[in-house]
């Protein structure tokens, strides 16, 4: 009788304890969520970086170079070339842009001259395109909606990084899968790519000196 009495009193308590433990377990961030939280914070502290974006399409292959040095220097170059070399090369695009302080410069095509233009006021210091702009690659979006899976180590531009595979699933649609490679020492990304190879983003020169100077203008 005594043991039955004790059991009847302990069972509800055990249920409460197990329920609290299960709730606590679900609230604990996963290793992937913790990594992307650290990476999001590291991005906000970055003072310089070089980014190369490559996109392959049915009609054009796009390449975008962006170099940023805080607080007020950046250089970018966008080139679009027909995916088929037999297509009309006159449809190619080659635009280069430099911001130094509150001055901007641009040139169209490789062999043309630089021109001064009105400052647009768009600086990427403190932010990284694609990663902090509300897009699919935004780390806040990843932590909220993506399934994060830890993978092995890889090397990008001579630096070691850990691969994290992110999967987004939507009803009645094929899953979207991306591969992030993040350096464990500084928590900054080195590469992002799609599994089909149509998109790749390489990030290097984090917090290193990048020489960006105003171009000489012809008179």
The CATH classification number of 31-204 equals 2.50.20.20
Q: Which of 49-58, 87-96, 164-173 has the lowest mean pLDDT?
A: 87-96
Give domain limits for the chain: 31-204
Q: In this prediction, what percent of the chain has a pLDDT beyond 70? A: 79
Distance CA 116, CA 5 (A): 88
pLDDT digits (tens, 9 = 90+) for 99-145: 999 999 999 877 789 999 998 888 888 888 877 666 667 777 787 88
User: From the centroid of its chain, how far is CA 164?
Assistant: 12
What is residue 171's three-state secondary structure? coil
Strands of the 48-56 sheet, one edge to the other: 115-117, 103-108, 93-100, 73-82, 60-69, 48-56, 199-204, 189-194, 176-182, 159-168, 147-156
Q: What is the pTM of this model?
A: 0.79
| Beta bridge pairs of residue 106 | 97, 115
Structure tokens, 104? 């901007």
- Region 83-111: mean pLDDT is 81
- Region 60-65: mean pLDDT is 88
pLDDT at 88 over 70: no
pLDDT at 172 over 80: no
Q: How far is CA 3 from CA 6, 12, 16, 185, in A?
A: 5, 15, 20, 56
Distance CA 42, CA 70 (A): 15
Average pLDDT, the chain: 82
Q: How far is CA 16 from CA 21, 26, 35, 74, 102, in A?
A: 9, 16, 32, 57, 62
Distance CA 194, CA 166 (A): 10
Residue scoring higher pLDDT (198 or 57): 198
């Amino acid at each position: 009788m005594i043991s039955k009495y004790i059991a009847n009193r302990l069972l509800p308590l055990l249920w409460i304890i197990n329920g609290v433990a299960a709730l606590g377990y679900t609230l604990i961030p996963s290793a992937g969520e913790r990594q992307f939280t650290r990476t999001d914070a590291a991005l906000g502290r970055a003072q310089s970086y070089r980014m190369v974006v490559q996109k392959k399409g049915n009609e054009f292959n796009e390449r975008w170079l962006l170099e940023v040095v805080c607080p007020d220097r950046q250089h970018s170059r966008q080139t679009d070339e027909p995916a088929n070399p037999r297509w009309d090369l006159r449809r190619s695009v080659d635009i280069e842009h430099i911001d130094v302080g509150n001055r901007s410069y641009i040139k169209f095509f490789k062999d043309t001259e630089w021109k001064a233009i009105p400052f647009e006021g768009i600086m990427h210091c403190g932010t990284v395109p694609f990663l902090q702009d509300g897009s699919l690659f935004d780390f806040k979006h990843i932590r909220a909606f993506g399934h994060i899976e830890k993978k092995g180590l890889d090397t990008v531009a001579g630096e070691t990084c850990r691969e994290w595979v992110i999967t987004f699933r939507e009803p009645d649609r094929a899953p979207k899968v991306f591969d992030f490679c993040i350096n464990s020492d500084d928590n900054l990304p080195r590469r992002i790519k799609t599994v089909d190879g149509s998109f790749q983003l390489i990030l290097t020169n984090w917090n290193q000196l990048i020489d960006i100077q105003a171009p000489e203008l012809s008179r």
